[in-house]
Amino acid sequence: MKETGRVPAGTPSGFFTAVLARRKTTERRAGRAPRKGADVKKAYRALSRTEILEYLEEPWESFHTGLLQEAKETHRRENGDRLIASAMLGFDNICRNQCLYCGMRAGNVAIPRYRMEPEEILSLFSAAAKTGLTRAFLISGEDPKFGFDRLCRLVSDLKRNGAAHVSLACGEFEKAQFAELRAAGADEYVLKFEMAQEEVFNRLNPSTDFRRRMRAIESIRELGIPLASGDIVGYPGQTLSMLAEDIDRMRELEISWAPVIPYMPAANTPLAAEGGPGNVEWIWRTIALLRVMMPGVRITAGQPGRDLREGLAGREGNLAALAAGADLLFADLLPASRAADFRVVDNRILAGLDHIREIARESGMRLVL
């Protein structure tokens, strides 16, 4: 990665002092000796599930002036207030699965399907590299007809053409296949556990099951491939207690990147009939908790604001996520003719590098390409 437009991280803001005072008050009420200095930082990293839930339930005003501000200060202190930009390409929207929440589920006949050829994929990433982007994120539905060998060759070609970091999100594979992807040059694999409750996962993901998904995740970890994983925040039926379990699971998995997103209903999906979009406040709390618990983790900043029509590139949503401790935005490489068809969620609106540069300027963060 290379840096551009570096902005000084700034001087300490006093937020940590406020958070420390708050924890001391809480601990005195509980009859415990107040923690000091580095002990508080360790305490954040070791939050119990009960404590995570308490922060999720805390009144917004005190959460905003307390833990959320500490999360941003943690990112400044630990990561130099970086904002990472990555090229992203949904190269195949054909999927054999029937996930109840995904707009690309096999049963949704309302969207045109496409499968891009490797030559077109490489051409798009080559053009992105000329703008300075060095990171590549490839995402697709589970499409057996794309061909696993072709996927491995594609990864090798991207690395050979200069991609500094290649992340893949192409569904579940066997352990030997993950090893082949690593050998081809994959730097990270993205496989979300979606929700930490086995029975809920099995209902919402009828084409697989929770134990199979977790076996695949453990295979990635056992091979030493950095794992990106996370959940859906605020889907119909989810409680804050369930969300606390999800956040705890991300820490247990020692993830490299948290691709978390609030639930955004997709047309022609069964779950959309069960309820509306997730509460964006929940995603801001999730981001902040992840940052103080895992200071070095990358966290998706492409989040919606309160107006979902702006999609994942709305100024309000992006800046709010960054203020909570997120640090990763994507430049979408899909041609306009196909962008609307990669419909994991409705209003999956992403922007390009110019938008990311503007967000970096407005937030005062250090842009890393």
Q: How far apart are CA 260 and CA 270, in angstroms?
A: 21
Q: Is residue 105 part of a domain?
A: yes
Q: Is residue 67 part of a domain?
A: no
Tokens describing residue 72: 């941003």
**Cβ-based neighbour number of residue 89 at 10 Å:** 23
Q: Is residue 22 part of a domain?
A: no
* Closest C-alpha among 344, 346, 343, 342 to residue 333: 342
Q: What angle do CA 311, 363, 1 make, to 5 degrees?
A: 85
What b/e string do you get for 95-131 counting C-beta neighbours within 10 Å, with b at 16 or more?
bebbbbbbbbbbebeebeeeebebeebbebbeebbee
Q: Is residue 141 part of a domain?
A: yes
Q: Is residue 267 part of a domain?
A: yes
Residue pLDDT, tens place only, 6-17 = 333 332 334 344
- Beta strand pairing status for 366-368 and 135-140? unpaired
Average pLDDT value for residue range 349-364 = 95
Q: Give phi and psi for 290, each to the nearest 5.
A: -60, -40
Higher pLDDT, 365 or 350: 365
Q: Is residue 248 part of a domain?
A: yes
Q: Is residue 24 part of a domain?
A: no
Q: How far apart are CA 211 and CA 192, in angstroms?
A: 13
Q: What is the pLDDT of residue 27?
A: 46
Evaluated on CA atoms 302, 308, 311, 315, the torsion sign reads: negative
Number of domains in the chain: 1
Percentage of the chain with pLDDT > 70?
89
Q: Is residue 3 part of a domain?
A: no
Residue 222 maps to which CATH number? Answer: 3.20.20.70
What's the predicted TM-score (pTM) here? 0.90
Confidence grade of residue 28 (pLDDT, cut at 50, 70, 90):
very low
Residue pLDDT, tens place only, 39-72 = 767 889 999 999 999 999 999 999 999 999 999 9
Range of the domain at 360: 75-368
Give me the residues paired with residue 82 across strands: 366
